[in-house]
């Protein structure tokens, strides 16, 4: 552990090279540190809970590749499975047993009856929306502000001016015609959901939601009079003949062995019509999936008319990594994740409290976020109250003390089965000074 500024010469040089050939120097925007400032660390290798950058500094990793690394980095069984699969050939374009085994594993842990493998979460949600439209013969899609479902054109939508107006593109490059059939509502707002279903119910193909939002920071689905928000959504969709699409790309096999559905759906007795998965089920390689009721999935080509395909879908190396990860993700692993997350949540809160920084820590399973705002945070508008300047100061103070947090105030912190006492202690040691930095750096 060190408290002097780290030299980042090699990362800085690589960032400069990268910017000369890649927009922003990164292959996914959040990696660029734009939200916190400074130079992203270029990673040379990772083991267990540790990242080592090209300048030779080690960090406790609380990003976990944005979710997939449930077991930690370079888990020996995952590495062995990947090496063995690669030695048998990297892609065949014909079916393999590994794809069947991975689909069986996911079907056994979730309400999904049939599953199609794809290569990214974006592909999974895009395909699920197409299938929902093809199945229902309807066009309108409902989503929630602040829920991210990948960079699908129709889902990169910002709310229009009124509650029940159709959306405007959330980014240049998305034509209005791509978002004009998307309705964006505030998360956890049952009255808004009831209102749009009352108005457009017979045109709505599906409602898609993160099973528990993690992309505006972690926000739990609210329970009202004993009924969870997801149960309410499932019931509302069913009443109007629309499909309920639960996006578990982030929460799947992360929030629990069964994902967020295992935390509330299994208990409350509802199931989504379609689910999307990614991250953990790929074990750090590009694999994702969408699945659901057999009757709905039967509409997919080649059984049905809705077209969907992929050259590398079910890739043998990715399926080997995913299957091994899921098989290693035992109840013992989830109990460990919960313990580590609990310690980090408690101690982060204590340090911020002592430094006088307003904050709220929110979680679902072991996924959690530290919002630097008075809580609670129930939706995107409330998440916007986070003091991003304070988070930037907090982030850099942690980084200098060997802890790599997500470089954005609106993300979850991810722990792994490999976060041992030493790694946890390094985080705890860094927290008091980082909380002081947040107190000094806030509100600018
Ligand atoms: N859905 C959710 C809930 C996500 O968190 C993400 C990515 O973070 C996606 C979809 C898109 O997945 P990918 O980045 O693999 O395209």
* Residue 5: band (very low, low, confident or very high) from pLDDT cuts 50, 70, 90: low
Q: What is the pLDDT of residues 323-346, one digit of tens each?
A: 999 999 999 999 999 999 999 999
Q: Do domains 9-70+330-441 and 76-328 have the same CATH topology?
A: no
pLDDT of residue 2: 45
The answer to whether 387 is a known catalytic residue is no
Among 31, 67, 148, which is best to mutate for testing ligand 1, by the most ligand atoms less than 8 A from CB? 148
pLDDT, tens digit, 9 for 90 and up, residues 193-206: 999 999 999 999 99
- Lowest mean per-residue pLDDT among 41-50, 121-130, 321-330, 375-384: 375-384
- The span from the CA of 334 to the CA of 315, in Å, is 27
Question: How many Å lie between the centroid of ligand 1 and the Cα of residue 122?
Answer: 6
How many A from CA of 433 to the centre of ligand 1? 33
Q: What is the pLDDT of residues 52-105, one digit of tens each?
A: 999 999 999 999 999 999 999 999 999 999 999 999 999 999 999 999 999 999
For residue 308, with 0-12 CB atoms within 10 Å meaning exposed, 13-18 middle and 19 or more buried, which class applies?
middle
Going by C-beta distance under 8 Å and a sequence separation of 6 or more, which residues neighbour residue 135?
A: 205, 243, 296, 299, 306
CA dist 388 → 216, 307, 343, 345, 444 (Å) = 13, 43, 24, 19, 9
When pLDDT is averaged across residues 405-412 and rounded to a whole number, the result is 95
**Distance separating alpha carbons of residues 395 and 399, to the nearest angstrom:** 6
- DSSP letter (8 states) at residue 305: S
Q: Say whether 247 is catalytic.
A: yes
Of ligand 1's atoms, which has the minimum distance to the CA of residue 28? 14
Q: Mean pLDDT score of the chain, rounded to an integer?
A: 95
The mean pLDDT of 397-410, rounded to a whole number, is 97
Residue 163: band (very low, low, confident or very high) from pLDDT cuts 50, 70, 90? low
CATH 3.40.50.720: does it fit domain 9-70+330-441?
no
Residue 159 predicted with pLDDT over 90: no
| pLDDT recorded at residue 164 | 64
Q: Is the pLDDT assigned to residue 117 strictly greater than 60?
A: yes
Residue with CA nearest ligand 1 atom 5? 250
If one residue of 28, 119, 150, 254 were mutated to test the ligand 1 pocket, choosing by the most ligand atoms within 8 A of its CB, it would be: 150
**pLDDT above 90 coverage of the chain, percent:** 93
- Which residue's alpha carbon is nearest to atom 9 within ligand 1? 150
Please tell me which residue in 53, 247, 273, 387 is annotated as part of the active site.
Answer: 247
**Closest-lying ligand 1 atom to the alpha carbon of residue 247:** 3
Residue 160, pLDDT > 80, answer: no
Instruction: Please state the pTM of the whole predicted model.
Output: 0.96
Kindly state if the Cβ of 127 falls inside 6 Å of ligand 1.
no
Q: Is 200 a catalytic residue?
A: no
Q: Give residue 162's pLDDT.
A: 67
State how far the Cα of 161 lies from the Cα of 184, in Å rounded to an integer.
10
Cα(356) to centroid of ligand 1, in Å?
34
* Start-to-end CA span in the chain (Å): 28
DSSP for 361-423?
A: EEEETTEEEEESSSS---SHHHHTTS-HHHHHHHHHHHHHTTEE--SSTTS-B---TT--HHH
Q: For the chain, give every domain's residue range.
A: 9-70+330-441, 76-328
Reduced DSSP (H G I as helix, E B as strand, rest coil) percent helix, strand, coil of the chain, to 5: 45, 15, 40
Q: What is the CATH number assigned to the segment(s) 76-328?
A: 3.40.640.10
pLDDT in tens, 252-309: 999 999 999 999 999 899 999 999 999 999 999 999 999 999 999 999 999 999 999 9
Q: What is the C-alpha separation between 430 and 144, in angstroms, rounded?
A: 35
Q: 120 C-alpha vs ligand 1 centroid, how far in Å?
A: 7
Instruction: Check if 120 has its Cβ closer than 6 Å to any atom of ligand 1.
Output: yes
Instruction: State yes or no: cis peptide before 306, omega within 30 of 0.
Output: no
Closest of 88, 99, 87, 8 to residue 312, by C-alpha: 99
pLDDT score of 375: 82
């Amino acid at each position: 552990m060190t408290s002097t500024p780290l030299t980042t010469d090699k990362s800085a040089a690589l960032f400069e090279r990268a910017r000369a050939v890649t927009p922003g120097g990164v292959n996914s925007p959040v990696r660029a540190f734009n939200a916190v400032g400074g130079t992203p660390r270029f990673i040379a290798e990772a083991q267990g809970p540790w990242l080592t950058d090209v300048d030779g500094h080690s960090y406790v990793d609380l990003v976990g590749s944005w979710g997939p690394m449930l077991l930690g980095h370079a888990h020996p069984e995952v590495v062995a499975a990947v090496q063995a699969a690669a030695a048998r050939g990297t892609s065949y374009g014909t079916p393999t047993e590994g794809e069947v085994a991975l689909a069986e594993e996911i079907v056994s842990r979730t309400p999904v009856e049939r599953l199609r493998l794809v290569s990214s979460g974006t592909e999974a949600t895009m395909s699920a929306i197409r299938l929902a439209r093809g199945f229902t013969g309807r066009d309108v899609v409902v989503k929630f502000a602040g829920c991210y479902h990948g960079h699908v054109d129709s889902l990169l939508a910002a709310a229009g001016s009124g509650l029940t107006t159709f959306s405007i593109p959330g980014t240049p490059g998305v034509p209005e015609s791509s978002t004009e059939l998307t309705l964006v509502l505030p998360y956890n707002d049952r009255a808004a959901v009831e209102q749009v279903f009352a108005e457009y119910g017979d045109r709505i193909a599906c409602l898609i939601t993160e099973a528990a939002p993690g992309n505006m920071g972690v926000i739990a689905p609210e329970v009202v009079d004993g009924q969870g928000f997801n149960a309410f959504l499932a019931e509302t969709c069913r009443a109007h003949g629309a499909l309920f699409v639960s996006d578990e790309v982030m929460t799947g096999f992360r929030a629990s062995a069964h994902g967020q559905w295992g935390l509330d759906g299994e208990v409350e007795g509802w199931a989504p019509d379609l689910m999307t998965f990614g991250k953990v089920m790929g074990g750090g390689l590009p694999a994702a999936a969408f699945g659901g009721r057999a009757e709905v999935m039967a509409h997919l080509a080649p059984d049905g008319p809705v077209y969907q395909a992929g050259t590398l879908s079910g890739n043998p190396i990715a399926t080997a990594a995913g299957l091994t990860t899921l098989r290693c993700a035992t109840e013992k692993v989830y109990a460990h994740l919960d313990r580590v997350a609990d310690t980090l949540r408690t101690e982060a809160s204590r340090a911020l409290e002592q430094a006088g920084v307003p904050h709220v820590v929110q979680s679902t399973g072991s996924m959690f976020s530290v919002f630097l705002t008075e809580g609670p945070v129930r939706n995107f508008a409330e998440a916007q109250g986070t003091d991003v300047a304070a988070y930037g100061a907090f982030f850099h103070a942690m980084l200098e003390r060997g802890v790599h947090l997500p470089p954005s105030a609106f993300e979850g912190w991810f722990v792994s089965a490999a976060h041992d006492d030493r790694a946890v202690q390094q985080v705890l040691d860094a927290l008091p000074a980082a909380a002081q930095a947040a107190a000094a750096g806030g509100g600018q």
